[in-house]
Structure 1
């Protein structure tokens, strides 16, 4: 682990050299693939040539190649044999994406990220007792690929778990056959039964589903808090959604200042960031030697036909960028759908600021997910509230009426004053987003937000109706249409 910390320090110090070398390795490795031949990878000598020849791709652009790989063709996007496809459930949309997972991506990206997470944690907390117990993780599921039974598809967590080395499997709980069960309710019940008997020292997962499991454990055991079940618990590694709105939720059931929280940025497409400092909530070191070459589109140009695409040495702190990646699984100049903001460029640290499709901009207010999460957290702090989930959408202008935003917020603990909660949320959004503030000025374009305090189970009911319970599925925080909001209101009779 100490050796690896030295290597991490090297890419902190020489980020551009590391990315440049990695770029050439990717191009050289893929030069004889169908994609590599199509775009003349053999002749590409510079990043500039690469950017001029190879188009920026959305999933729809790469799908014909991915589909052929799923049917069994090889050497299409990447030369290694592709036996696994991560089913991306980053949103609740009915259409799934299937992301190829090469042996190199598993070993040099996903597993390397997991090991680095431990290395960084131990470096931050050298007196840790983490290895005296087991790590709990909630996995997804995988199944044979319908197009080719020799390959498999599933949540990236399931793909990773299924391929773990024996030593890693011995350090985790519950057993694989339980972790990969596809019936969510049965899985939770079995996980409770088995994990309460273990000495769990760490947990990893999406905050929402991890909290569901912890609550069920308390209900089943009759204990007051999780430390009565696992007294040596010291770490929760979390990702997929911002932790800010959930922090108080976890403090309530894990009431100790000795509990540590570590943010990571991992997705079906790769492992990208790890929190490397104490007390820097949701700020992560961009991991530069995982077989991923990074480019960035400024969000103010994202909708343009030919936007400027920047390399790492061209980014600026404080600006929002759409992430573009080229990977050791054959995703070439791929728009992952996430937006990031650099908090530092020496070393390169990022915050996830939202999704390229998840925002509200019905009236020019340009509210992004990061804005919403900060505002909700401040409103919770001001009113003693604790939330489990939320979503928001525009209220469109009608004849004689101004527009606004409508929120559905599921509270674990109700605010002591919902009106004050609404006021603080609105004020916070105005403070951190000048476009929103301008539209809210004297209610010119936007009136104060409408908030539905939804009963517990609201979002679970909706996800269940869509067949999206558990695993990597998460609720879209913001939408520029009312589709999700109307569905949730209808399913739960909140209309």
Structure 2
């Protein structure tokens, strides 16, 4: 074992103990974070407008600060973007993470000197928890890759801006610089297909041990590697044993990945966003990701079923329940207050608090009152594929409300790697799995309001071509698992 591996194990043990200290005192930890946030933001414009000087307890905060999304907070953000100080947080942000907006166009999410370190530490600590639990640290001697956006940053009123993954690239610790691929020059390539080709060229003869990125884009990288070398990825990279991912559920991709790699590899799930790094998988044995309660973020939760009511109840960490679908609300040391990031979560454990990402509050199908969410369609597809050689590259689901004939239905647009021998049998299995996942959907089938799912095949690379046509090929972009309209699927058909 190398000195680097030994040092990694000692460091992992130290970080594990620090994590246990706050994870075992979750309510106290969140209370301290809350008090620090309020104290630090009292003299900001937002703090003055919302009477932070009078806030003594969470109940005061909930009364003063409504739940907002980006559009509702935009008047404050616009002032920060113009270069004004002390608006949402002390001073000016270090960076803006630029993301795609909805009604507002581009979104500028502030990153401050207080918030930025947590983005870096969380990704590091996820790997260290894996080392502590598994005892496997040999991979630190090999090469590591993260498929990410360009690190080239623009500037707006003296503040650097770019994609979060590109900003994070500037903070790679020195002890990882020699191990990290691709090169800076390759990472700066904007065109995704050209970039992936260059990454293949740089990595194909290296000792790659860790590969990280959104599964759909890592899949493209693996396919190009396999085409170039004419052998499985696991034979190209004999010491590759750890895949780190975030952004989407890995399970629908797992069978395809294991086929491309030629064997199983361990994986670590992350829950990062421009607004904060919220959770990471701290155990290979337990379901869910450890919610980071000591990272400058105060969490609130609203049940999805109540979210659109006039005044939904807001829950704090000590009030949540297992298996309930919650909209995640955050207040952060980057100056986001009562902020709805759009993600929904479910708790898989309360000791410690672990979550899974169940979907997006705006990504659902409820054309007939069924309120199907992302987790349900992913789980149904996984169940329908079990025990078969069917493999799926990508998929999305949309309602067909006005069919030319017959009852309405949910239409699954699927790009298969290995397609079913009998589509009717597969559609039946998929529909049965969906009925188990969602009782409202089952009622609609039983009541002859809906007919069973319809599967529409998408041509090879159909989803990639769609993303390319939308200017969203690569990086952190991903296909929504489902929509309540047909805007996406009409362009796929």
Give TM-score, length-normalised by structure 2. 0.94
1:139 aligns with 2:144: no
Q: Distance between the aligned counterparts of 2:160 and 2:470, measured in 1? A: 23
Other structure's SS at 1:367 match: coil
Q: For residues 131 and 92 of structure 1, do their structure 2 counterparts lie closer, same or farther at Cα, with a shift above 3 Å needed?
A: farther
Q: Which 10-residue stretch deviates more, 70-79 or 363-372?
A: 70-79
Q: Gaps (5+ residues) in structure 1?
A: 490-495
Tell me what 2:4 maps to. none
Q: Tell me by how many angstroms 1:181 deviates.
A: 1.9
Q: Select the residue among 197, 204, 209 that pairs with 2:205.
A: 197
Tell me what 1:486 maps to. 490
Other structure's SS at 1:310 match: coil
Q: Gaps (5+ residues) in structure 2?
A: 1-11
Q: Deviations over 1:17-70 (max 9, x none)?
A: 001001111111111111111112122111111111111111101112212222
Q: Select the residue among 397, 406, 412 that pairs with 1:407.
A: 412
Tell me what 1:374 maps to. 379
Tell me what 2:366 maps to. 361
Tell me what 1:253 maps to. 260
Q: Distance between the aligned counterparts of 1:202 and 1:173, measured in 2? A: 10
Other structure's SS at 1:429 match: helix
Checking the alignment, whether the CA contact within 8 Å between 2:80 and 2:92 is kept in structure 1 is: no
Aligned residue runs from structure 1 range 228-377, under 5 A: 228-257=235-264, 259-280=265-286, 283-377=288-382
Q: Distance between the aligned counterparts of 2:329 and 2:169, measured in 1? A: 27
Q: For residues 48 and 238 of structure 1, do their structure 2 counterparts lie closer, same or farther at Cα, with a shift above 3 Å needed?
A: same
Checking the alignment, whether the CA contact within 8 Å between 2:435 and 2:442 is kept in structure 1 is: yes
Q: Distance between the aligned counterparts of 1:306 and 1:412, measured in 2? A: 46
Q: Distance between the aligned counterparts of 1:288 and 1:7, measured in 2? A: 12
Checking the alignment, whether the CA contact within 8 Å between 2:328 and 2:345 is kept in structure 1 is: yes
User: Over the residues paired in the alignment, what is the CA RMSD in angstroms?
Assistant: 1.8
Q: Select the residue among 183, 186, 197 that pairs with 1:178.
A: 186
Q: Tell me by how many angstroms 1:435 deviates.
A: 0.5
Checking the alignment, whether the CA contact within 8 Å between 1:295 and 1:325 is kept in structure 2 is: yes
1:97 aligns with 2:84: no
Other structure's SS at 1:383 match: coil
Tell me what 1:60 maps to. 71
Q: Deviations over 1:215-242 (max 9, x none)?
A: 11111222x1112221111100111011
Q: Deviations over 1:418-461 (max 9, x none)?
A: 2222111100010121100000115x111011111212110011
Q: For residues 93 and 248 of structure 1, do their structure 2 counterparts lie closer, same or farther at Cα, with a shift above 3 Å needed?
A: farther
Other structure's SS at 1:60 match: helix
Q: Tell me by how many angstroms 1:163 deviates.
A: 3.1
Aligned residue runs from structure 1 range 111-190, under 5 A: 111-141=120-150, 144-145=153-154, 147-148=156-157, 150-190=158-198
Aligned residue runs from structure 1 range 213-228, under 5 A: 213-222=221-230, 224-228=231-235
Tell me what 1:72 maps to. 83
Checking the alignment, whether the CA contact within 8 Å between 2:393 and 2:415 is kept in structure 1 is: yes
Checking the alignment, whether the CA contact within 8 Å between 1:139 and 1:179 is kept in structure 2 is: yes
Q: Distance between the aligned counterparts of 2:156 and 2:261, measured in 1? A: 45
Tell me what 1:388 maps to. 393
Q: Distance between the aligned counterparts of 2:439 and 2:351, measured in 1? A: 28
Checking the alignment, whether the CA contact within 8 Å between 2:348 and 2:356 is kept in structure 1 is: yes
Q: Distance between the aligned counterparts of 2:285 and 2:386, measured in 1? A: 18
Q: Select the residue among 444, 453, 460 that pairs with 1:456.
A: 460
Q: Distance between the aligned counterparts of 1:92 and 1:463, measured in 2? A: 16
Checking the alignment, whether the CA contact within 8 Å between 2:152 and 2:166 is kept in structure 1 is: no
Report the count of equivalent residues. Answer: 482
Q: Distance between the aligned counterparts of 1:439 and 1:182, measured in 2? A: 46
